[in-house]
Structure 1
């Protein structure tokens, strides 16, 4: 069979998303999740079971539902998992010997984050305590009243915690009230729980949280010392320590996470990572894996070490740290380790890995020998019949000497001596990171004959605290020069790039930068702005995060300096925009609401500038990553179609220099 030259848009339907490996207590079996797109072009996911010794794999659940989050019972006799088989996500259990799953919970609005009691007789879970909606006005009294991805107003609901006893089905609500309780799990002996509570006593304090330990025979006790954003508490096997991650918001949303350990015996807390200038957690951007900044904290059996994921220089890798702050990179490489499971002796680790040439599968890594063994091949059929473009790292000085890192993908039909168009693709966040992971969209563009340049300008994670803080208060300043210097470097370094055939796109912050770029230069032949910000003054009041994100990133509240918000608004340059601009936006995007797209479109259309607005019904801010598959493919067709159209038109016939 002839190989297909490059990835096609419809290949999205063939990809398998392998995730969440969980090793049985005896270390003999591995359960994991495979998500795919079925014949109805809808997502479904099922559990798969592997015999570790024989590597034999069996599908453990079936059907068109979403079965996720498998967790072994303490004795290894059964599994719990979440499933929407009854429409809402509920806890189900299934025997480790096979058979039909049984439903455990029946909450009106579904549940999340389930975990076993250490003795296996109960399950802890999180549920939404939602006020009944009535016809008539909805009264809002707090700043945080909506959230992207949630269809109803969050002021009408709170996240609460309960447990259910399996034999009696008795439900006991453990945490309730007008606050959100999240990241809950049992203590080592099941005599209590640890959790995070979001504070809402003051106007802005909802972005602050505290870690609590709640022994059931005592009152809950706050154990975190800093005021900031904290998450993912986990109790050590011996019960003495509670580890969690977070930061004091010193640099607002650009603040690096630290790893804290609370000693229950001495009632004291230490920061283990004070000298470690990396971002704890997975901040890699990909269109195949939903953004999950979880550090995947895991204690060693002797309670003397912690394992966690961290992101650095375009890679997400596995680290270990002891109680004295000594750090060891356990598993490294130019790749994206997005999840893992470790055996009791910490000799073998089962990794979910993606690379620029592979969407993701499981491998076994021997800690001592460093040897790796592929375990699953769910994407093998697709990969065997497709040629991919493999990225080449680039590195260059920006205008002020700051070193910028990124990658270049050649077109799939590359031939020496010929010239090719190039797309500058800008990531969102801005405090996220491009890196060594698979990108379906990038591969689709190279298959259509484009080079793709993707960079980590200042503001990106992976290059230290100073670097990630570099764009705050300066959007459109140093970051703009980082990107333009990258384009210059690419043209100078790759003589096959056609400098008259340059294109630019990006989403969220990348959409902001696309808007800023076309308002400040005409060097790009066409552009696509996606789920973007164009006006910080209106964004401040309409986004679900606008009223605190704006202060954190631009530096001021609306009432403090509205002119500064206007200064950093790309729509300020709308009369200068000559680049044909496609505007893509989701109708239900609460992060960057669609009014941002509408403003820009009307301002351009009124001037008879070349533009088009494409609205995606029911799509939120995450359309490109986990939106409806048909809509995702339609989005890619719009982007590539826009660039293809202007590729056929001589640049000199439609733009003049500003």
Structure 2
């Protein structure tokens, strides 16, 4: 018998990531992520499969925190991280060997061209004394935190004190590790020159303003020395890699606003050329909840890269000197993440409307893709409800893409859940995702779920992407309300049974809509922003949000911030509201949730505040399995209890053998 997939099925999901293609193109190592509900941990291990399909996928490592596999260029070894340290595994077989034992761990391994060294970025505490023991480290951890600059905290890390990310190199033969950079700023990424003599990396220029979101391209001798800036002195280089003799950079040539773009940089002159100027799309290097891939060179000399296209992430190729870009892999409802290239072959992870992700082998020349894994078989007997695309015309002449989830057996007007994405520059798409399993349970209970990509969403051109600057809430409210009106007019949705939810920016909009519109009978904002004035000095990215997103600061733009802040209108809220928030969130600090809950409580509006201990802003994506499951269950319970005539669970009338 089939049944709808649900929140508890998180335990059966195995989601691949970080695929690495062997230098001979015959094998793929990748990370398999699964969630253990008994231990309440998310485990990651490395698996391997052949590109020919001749052998079955098998476990290559048996750790629970194994990540970031990287083949040596000569194919003899696989580097990876285990419990935050660098390890090596012989490809011919044998035991894994630990390479690093750094106090704060090591980052993603990057092999030198001759396979003798591995570069990586790792956190370094500049205040730590040589040979510092655990007791001394514990004493310093409780010492007062003294901050003169604004970069003293970061979501997921908390107070960073004197810790900065620095470039290191490990010797594969004797496992010695040398620290290559000793900068006052964080090193973001690293790459080896083809001759193995030089390392390129991105970091803020020495002496740069703390109020500029900048990262220049630096070069430094691999044996150590003084780094020198070669490009992006006044821009933002987010990632750096070599493609032949040229550097490939994802970032912004100037202010970090609007689309990230793809550049080729001459390491000798610093001249930068935009490679995919014909694409009005955001280049996606990849991050939690933001699927993408680091650019990579093919054997034919092209550069492969990922862009966001109408909510999805697709793979493109471009000549190394610039020119017309071409689509390699991507269609509606298809999302790629991760990339590794050998010659004319590439591997990536591909998700679709009925798959949470499988490893795919791609012929770069033809775009033909072959699925190499079958992790979806673990969900046999579970039905994944597909998102059905629909476009909505907005009264100002713009158009908004959305998707509906609705049971095939549903008739007439149903309750509706509007779910709003974060960012604000994230985007929904038609692919299945593991974060929103509660959608499927609501659909099984007879609900319609609506997701929309309003202005500000990624994948529709830079003008659409930037349309929210200075207009949070005020510019995009109708992008949500008018599609609901259209669904009501179509007879698909009951106007008396409307619920709204969203996370991060979606939490902001949930608060804003319930403060300025009375139609919603239940609301569940998560990871919220309620007051843009207080956010300006408390978020870890406060200045970026104020200048590049909101476009206003409290001491000079009070009225503008008040017009955009839900807290200004909290006295108008009547909607029963469940607030869900990570207790250690410093991206949207906990006070944003507390003040919203407090105001509703004081006014007598039904409300509840749920705080998740130890959880950062990204906990719905990467937090404890118990927190993620609890989040979904509380959301379902709240909206169904506050919308008359609905129930948390309903047996699917179309279940079949």
Q: Please, what TM-score do these two structures have when normalized by structure 1? A: 0.91
Q: Classify 1:113/1:206 alpha carbon distance in 2 versus 1 (closer, same or farther; 3 Å).
A: farther
Structure 2 portions without partners, runs of 5+:
129-139, 647-657
Give the match's secondary structure for 1:373. strand
Shift of 1:200: 6.2
Partners of 1:424 and 1:377 lie apart in 2 by 32
Q: 8 Å contact 2:501–2:507 — kept in the other structure?
A: yes
Give the match's secondary structure for 1:175. coil
Shift of 1:610: 1.1
Paired position in structure 2 for 1:298:
296
Give the match's secondary structure for 2:338. strand
Q: Classify 1:416/1:619 alpha carbon distance in 2 versus 1 (closer, same or farther; 3 Å).
A: closer
Paired position in structure 1 for 2:133:
none
Q: Classify 1:51/1:203 alpha carbon distance in 2 versus 1 (closer, same or farther; 3 Å).
A: closer
Give the match's secondary structure for 1:406. strand
CA RMSD of aligned residues (A): 2.0
Q: Classify 1:158/1:225 alpha carbon distance in 2 versus 1 (closer, same or farther; 3 Å).
A: closer
Paired position in structure 2 for 1:9:
7
Aligned residues: 627
Partners of 2:433 and 2:488 lie apart in 1 by 23
**Deviations for 1:405-460, whole angstroms, at most 9, x for unmatched residues?**
1111103xx42534311111000000111112213422233233321100000011
Partners of 1:371 and 1:157 lie apart in 2 by 45
Partners of 2:488 and 2:346 lie apart in 1 by 42
Paired position in structure 2 for 1:243:
248
Greater alpha carbon shift after TM alignment, 616-625 vs 261-270: 261-270
Shift of 1:226: 5.7
2:486 aligned with 1:489:
yes
Shift of 1:225: 3.9
* Alignment partner of 1:574 out of 561, 564, 570: 570
2:28 aligned with 1:30:
yes
Q: Classify 1:461/1:134 alpha carbon distance in 2 versus 1 (closer, same or farther; 3 Å).
A: closer
Q: 8 Å contact 1:41–1:629 — kept in the other structure?
A: yes
**Deviations for 1:148-193, whole angstroms, at most 9, x for unmatched residues?**
0103x22321111111212223222111132211201211111010
**Deviations for 1:567-620, whole angstroms, at most 9, x for unmatched residues?**
211011111101111111110000001101111111111111111111111111
Q: 8 Å contact 1:113–1:183 — kept in the other structure?
A: no
Shift of 1:396: 1.6
Shift of 1:481: 0.9
Shift of 1:103: 0.2
Paired position in structure 2 for 1:643:
639
Partners of 1:588 and 1:15 lie apart in 2 by 27
Paired position in structure 1 for 2:652:
none
* Alignment partner of 2:171 out of 165, 174, 179: 165
Greater alpha carbon shift after TM alignment, 530-539 vs 349-358: 349-358
Paired position in structure 1 for 2:161:
155
Shift of 1:548: 2.9
Shift of 1:230: 1.1
**Deviations for 1:82-116, whole angstroms, at most 9, x for unmatched residues?**
011xxxx0000011122221100000000102111
Partners of 2:45 and 2:150 lie apart in 1 by 39
Paired position in structure 2 for 1:424:
418
How do residues 590-629 of structure 1 correspond to structure 2 at under 5 angstroms?
A: 590-629=586-625
Q: 8 Å contact 2:361–2:372 — kept in the other structure?
A: yes
Q: 8 Å contact 1:199–1:205 — kept in the other structure?
A: no
Paired position in structure 1 for 2:262:
259
Give the match's secondary structure for 2:537. helix
Q: 8 Å contact 2:107–2:122 — kept in the other structure?
A: yes
Q: 8 Å contact 1:282–1:311 — kept in the other structure?
A: no
2:455 aligned with 1:450:
no
After TM superposition, the runs of 4+ consecutive aligned structure 1 residues lying more than 6 A away are none
Q: Classify 1:437/1:199 alpha carbon distance in 2 versus 1 (closer, same or farther; 3 Å).
A: farther
Partners of 1:235 and 1:125 lie apart in 2 by 15
Q: Classify 1:297/1:372 alpha carbon distance in 2 versus 1 (closer, same or farther; 3 Å).
A: closer
Q: Classify 1:378/1:467 alpha carbon distance in 2 versus 1 (closer, same or farther; 3 Å).
A: same
Paired position in structure 2 for 1:83:
82
Partners of 2:377 and 2:450 lie apart in 1 by 27
Partners of 2:492 and 2:195 lie apart in 1 by 63
**Deviations for 1:239-283, whole angstroms, at most 9, x for unmatched residues?**
x21110111455x54x10111111245552212233321011167
Shift of 1:293: 5.8
How do residues 117-266 of structure 1 correspond to structure 2 at under 5 angstroms?
A: 117-130=112-125, 131-132=127-128, 133-151=140-158, 153-199=159-205, 201-205=207-211, 207-216=213-222, 219-225=226-232, 227-237=234-244, 240-248=245-253, 250=255, 252-253=256-257, 255-264=258-267
Paired position in structure 2 for 1:362:
359
How do residues 511-530 of structure 1 correspond to structure 2 at under 5 angstroms?
A: 511-530=507-526
Shift of 1:294: 5.0
Partners of 2:594 and 2:584 lie apart in 1 by 13
Paired position in structure 2 for 1:343:
342
Q: 8 Å contact 1:339–1:351 — kept in the other structure?
A: yes
Partners of 2:309 and 2:226 lie apart in 1 by 40
Structure 1 portions without partners, runs of 5+:
284-288, 651-658
2:579 aligned with 1:583:
yes
Give the match's secondary structure for 1:48. strand
Q: 8 Å contact 1:399–1:482 — kept in the other structure?
A: no
Partners of 1:295 and 1:386 lie apart in 2 by 30
Q: 8 Å contact 1:427–1:510 — kept in the other structure?
A: yes
* Alignment partner of 1:374 out of 368, 371, 374: 371
Give the match's secondary structure for 1:606. helix
Greater alpha carbon shift after TM alignment, 28-37 vs 457-466: 28-37
Paired position in structure 1 for 2:468:
471
2:103 aligned with 1:108:
yes
